[in-house]
Structure 1
Amino acid sequence: MWVGRAYGRRYAPAMSREIFARTHASVETLHEFLLAGARLTPDKPAVIQAVGGETGSLSYRQLAQRVDGYAATLDELGLDIGDRVVLESDTSATAIATFLACSSLGLTVVPVSPETPAQRLALIAESTEAALHLQTVDGRREAVPTPLGTGRFGTDGIQVERAPAPRSRHRRELVPTDPAYMIFTSGTTGRPKGVVMSHRGVLAFFRGMLRHGIVSAEDRVATTSPLQFDFSLLDIGLALGSGAAVVPVPRSLLRWPRRFVQFLTDSGTTQVNGVPSIWRGVLRHEQAGLAALGEQIRGVLYSGENFPLPELRQLQRALPRARVVNCFGSSESIAASFTDVPNPLPEDADRISIGHAHPGAEMLLIDEDGRPVDEPGVVGQIHLRSAALFNGYWNDPQATAAALVPDPLNPAAGQVVFRTGDLAYRGEGGELYFTGRADSLVKVRGNRVELGEVERRVREFPGIAGAAALMLSQAGKDPVLATFVVLDAGVDGVEEMELGAFCLEALPDYMVPQQVRVLDELPVNANGKIDRRALARRAGEPAQG
């Protein structure tokens, strides 16, 4: 069953983007796509990471050899194509190799964080009927639920601790429509929701993304997202798919701006990817250190949430030569668009466009009655037509049917599109502007309010560095619209009446926050997005929206 390949031959040290593109056009599986560099530029660094306080690298040849060795061990376990493997790790060279080894055997990877609570891990393992749990040699997970097999991976290979329950092999050939991985996101029911992505889907996305030319083979791409967040897979695909090097940033460094900047310096990082919140501490406390990287860092890509415009302008001032790309989308298609941010961002700009879908995809706007929205300025829900769509939600046909819907423009054709839940309107040039989530609409005195619109206005108030809005319930009273804010360095407080008057200049009165609470920082979840549930707990009331 082992379909791993050898990559020991020598080739010319430098290859153009066109040669990589031609090579990628002939492959159909994730591991073949990401290991193309092992055939084209085997001696170039593939992964650069911190080891014992120093930076070390793994070449494409070494990465491919590690993949082959891991695959040989996994192949002896008798797992079948499509069996699920829980991969518990932060992003690292060994984790990437394990991921690709599973891919070469047709095993579906379910990445989880080492910080995942035991109850959630057990729920994921049970719901997916996973066969095997793998963690690093120094992983601290002990009580792995049976009947999962268990093993540990490191530079010396994979050590199987508990063999998986005997399984039957029915499959002989891995095909592009087989699931490559499954990302678990938060579900509205309170249970995690598994997004199943096929080899064909992820490769369609990678090919569309690489046509933007965001990085070259000479770049070093810092990834700051946890492995279970598909943004990390975007980073890995962007780097390895371009013949560049991926640079996993240790999670612990993101809390320390000076150490984060020093790591970027020491690793020779030229491209930094992550959610906007990774920059907040750096911009507040380590601006000089960041500015010193102005000649080194050529690109920044952000995703996951809106980048507050004052912070974005501050980032551009610190890195004036960097190409800043706004990446927009969701796990169900990894992403949908890549849009260059104007440099410098005009002072009168109040929104950042999400542009158009990446090559090979199309974003439609559909109104509440299922009709297309073509005129500028009218809000509709984004429906994504793409070959990069997910297969469905794991074992949830109802949720899948609600998300993958018949093409509203041609329902008789049998084609489905992804109803994203994202709201947007068109600009005069046809470009899209994201306005918020359909599921973050709340009612204030009977009026529909998009929380993102409130947050955007509050962040424009002088002295406010970040803001999050939500509805707070009150015993015996109507819910109240509240905003939680973080202040710029040196700002002692905010006058609620002044902020209210400022909001009234652009918003109707029912959208003006009735409560303002100042925090040292906004809580974020494991993926770096604002954690509204944590805010609600801090307020002592259940949140709406």
Structure 2
Amino acid sequence: MLQYLERAASLSPGQTACVDETRSLSYQELCHISRAVGAALSRHIRPRQPVAVYMEKGCAALSAFFGVVYAGGFYSYFNPELPTARLEQIQSVLGASCVITDQAHRSVMEEIFPASSILLVEELMISQEDQSPLAAIRASMIDTDPLYVNFTSGSTGLPKGVLVSHRSVLDFIDVFADTFSFTSNDRIGNQAPFDFDVSVKDIYGALKAQATLVIIPRRLFSRPKELLDFLCEHKVTALIWAVSALCLISTFHGLDYRTPDTVNKVLFSGEVMPLKHLKTWMDHLPQAQFVNLYGPTEITCNCTYHILDRERDYQGGIPIGRPFPNEEVFLLDGEDREIHEPGPIGELCVRGTALALGYYRSPQQTAAAFVPDPRNPAYPELIYRTGDLGRYTQDGEFMYSGRKDFQIKHLGHRVELEEIERAVSALPGVDRCCCVYQEERQKIHAFYVGEVEAAQLRRQIKEQLPYFMVPSTLTAVERFPLTKNGKIDRKELLKGGGSHA
């Protein structure tokens, strides 16, 4: 991946590589600083060792990421939004020998790392260390070496570290940038935290296209008007955002306040996009391309995409589309037989170079998710079982049908929670809906943002859905709580209050 950075520094040295609240760096500057960080860091780590990076997302964090790679290691971003106890859990799995942080965040890291293992980015960035070790390190690197590890929640009670190689990112980003025509004229507005793989598309998509990465301060995502001012002032052209971030703006009618009309690409993922919110965005940006992306962290960002057609009716749902080149996506039924025809629902599975290396220091969990392809008994070949359900449409696209664990058995019927959410979200007076199932109580809880009274909404739902799909409770909320990755926090919803029916 360093070749992307060096090519940009060579071909477009003065082009702005990244902008944050306090600084901007050209590609030449970013490359020079990253090499300085790498040279200094190479005295502290061995090849293929993890390094934690703990600071606010920004240009300095990027230089730390690339510096870790120059030193022969791989990075893991420790998000300052996380509580210290969670970071300690991550470190218990990661086992990083050192952390790169800044002066503002040093005290937190002193609770986790010994003082000798804490390296300050301010000092690394101005290091005048001998850079000769970098050539030897580079010569020994290969494309299957790990690039980063992102941690997700794990069923064992410890976070799972998804380990991704250079090869997988190269395989995906080359195609991603070309498919959506990213160029050096693009200014990509980064929404995602740096420990969420949506940011991989921002960071490396910008490098590939020699575009500018505009790093949006996280506090603005609770201030829609300021967020829109920021997008307009920085002339952002591309948004690769989580659905919830886009809905934040449309829920509060932010686009009526100010439309970021320089935006020509809106790519969204993470959750099902509510049609009302999609229409709001498409109406305000009539010339922009809109794309629905799908894929879990374990397959390196995304494996399918669907470019929205403004003339098409999406009342039946937005397809997740077709596979990116060099990725095979297919459906397996409950007996591990491949599904080929439209209609039947199966588990979405993925094969290809973009698959992650596995879960870091977790061979059992790796073996459970990255499994031999049951269709191929002739030689070893791994696939990733996503745990997501899907089906084929009549024209051969994939339609997302929910999580395996979101498909419930209720009152004797198989129910998809997403189907209820889509139906309720389409009703008058509802902006958005989210459903949570409590298995022990056999109850479907629906939470919604909107003006309609819960009792009136219940009457409308009963006119639209069969009795076994009518939620047990309806709760109006001002906004949905979000996880650090920008997805709806369903557990937190169950704890909260609201008006019930």
5+ long unaligned stretches in structure 1 = 1-29, 160-168, 541-545
Q: Distance in 2 between matches of 1:298 and 1:150?
A: 42
Residue in 1 aligned with 2:2?
A: 31
Query: In the alignment, is the contact (CA less than 8 A) between 1:73 and 1:158 conserved in 2?
Result: no
CA shift, 1:367, in A, is 0.5
Residue in 1 aligned with 2:131?
A: none
Q: Distance in 2 between matches of 1:330 and 1:247?
A: 24
Greater helix proportion: 2
Indicate the larger mover: 379-388 or 87-96: 87-96
Query: In the alignment, is the contact (CA less than 8 A) between 2:201 and 2:240 conserved in 1?
Result: no
SS class of match (1:121): helix
> Which of the numbers 89, 92, 97 marks the counterpart of 2:58?
92
Paired residues in the alignment total 486
Residue in 2 aligned with 1:149?
A: 117
Residue type at the aligned position of 2:31:
A
Q: Distance in 2 between matches of 1:438 and 1:269?
A: 37
CA shift, 1:158, in A, is 6.6
Q: Distance in 1 between matches of 2:141 and 2:479?
A: 47
Matches within 5 A, 1:196-235: 196-235=163-202
The one-character-per-residue Cα deviations of 1:261-320 (angstroms, maximum 9, x if unpaired) are 0101111111112111112232223222343x32x1111111111110110001101111
Residue type at the aligned position of 1:149:
S
The one-character-per-residue Cα deviations of 1:397-430 (angstroms, maximum 9, x if unpaired) are 2211111111122132211111111111111111
CA shift, 1:350, in A, is 2.6
Residue type at the aligned position of 2:464:
C
Q: Distance in 2 between matches of 1:320 and 1:408?
A: 45
> Which of the numbers 414, 422, 447 marks the counterpart of 2:388?
422
Residue in 2 aligned with 1:497?
A: 458
> Which of the numbers 431, 436, 441 marks the counterpart of 2:407?
441
5+ long unaligned stretches in structure 2 = 128-135
CA shift, 1:120, in A, is 1.4
Query: Do the aligned partners of residues 290 and 421 (structure 1) sit closer, same or farther apart at CA in structure 2, a change above 3 Å counting?
Result: farther
Residue type at the aligned position of 2:395:
G
The one-character-per-residue Cα deviations of 1:342-401 (angstroms, maximum 9, x if unpaired) are 12553x633111111111111011101010101111111111011010111112222111
Query: In the alignment, is the contact (CA less than 8 A) between 1:316 and 1:344 conserved in 2?
Result: no
Q: Distance in 2 between matches of 1:171 and 1:101?
A: 12
> Which of the numbers 425, 444, 448 marks the counterpart of 1:485?
448
Residue type at the aligned position of 2:230:
F
Matched, 1:407 2:373: yes
CA shift, 1:157, in A, is 1.9
Structural RMSD (CA): 2.2
Q: Distance in 2 between matches of 1:213 and 1:500?
A: 39
SS class of match (1:269): coil
Matched, 1:390 2:353: no
The one-character-per-residue Cα deviations of 1:65-113 (angstroms, maximum 9, x if unpaired) are 1111111211222x10111111123321111111011112221211121
SS class of match (2:209): coil
> Which of the numbers 185, 203, 212 marks the counterpart of 2:152?
185
Residue in 1 aligned with 2:46?
A: 80
> Which of the numbers 1, 18, 30 marks the counterpart of 1:47?
18
Query: In the alignment, is the contact (CA less than 8 A) between 2:39 and 2:70 conserved in 1?
Result: no
Matched, 1:525 2:483: yes
TM-score (norm 2): 0.92
CA shift, 1:473, in A, is 6.0
Matched, 1:450 2:416: yes
Query: In the alignment, is the contact (CA less than 8 A) between 2:330 and 2:349 conserved in 1?
Result: yes
SS class of match (2:496): helix
Indicate the larger mover: 238-247 or 32-41: 32-41
Query: Do the aligned partners of residues 135 and 371 (structure 1) sit closer, same or farther apart at CA in structure 2, a change above 3 Å counting?
Result: same
Residue in 2 aligned with 1:511?
A: 469
CA shift, 1:514, in A, is 1.7
Q: Distance in 2 between matches of 1:369 and 1:492?
A: 45
Residue type at the aligned position of 2:54:
E
State the percentage of identical aligned residues.
Answer: 31
SS class of match (1:332): helix
Matched, 1:289 2:257: yes
Query: In the alignment, is the contact (CA less than 8 A) between 1:194 and 1:393 conserved in 2?
Result: yes
CA shift, 1:142, in A, is 4.6
Query: In the alignment, is the contact (CA less than 8 A) between 2:458 and 2:474 conserved in 1?
Result: no
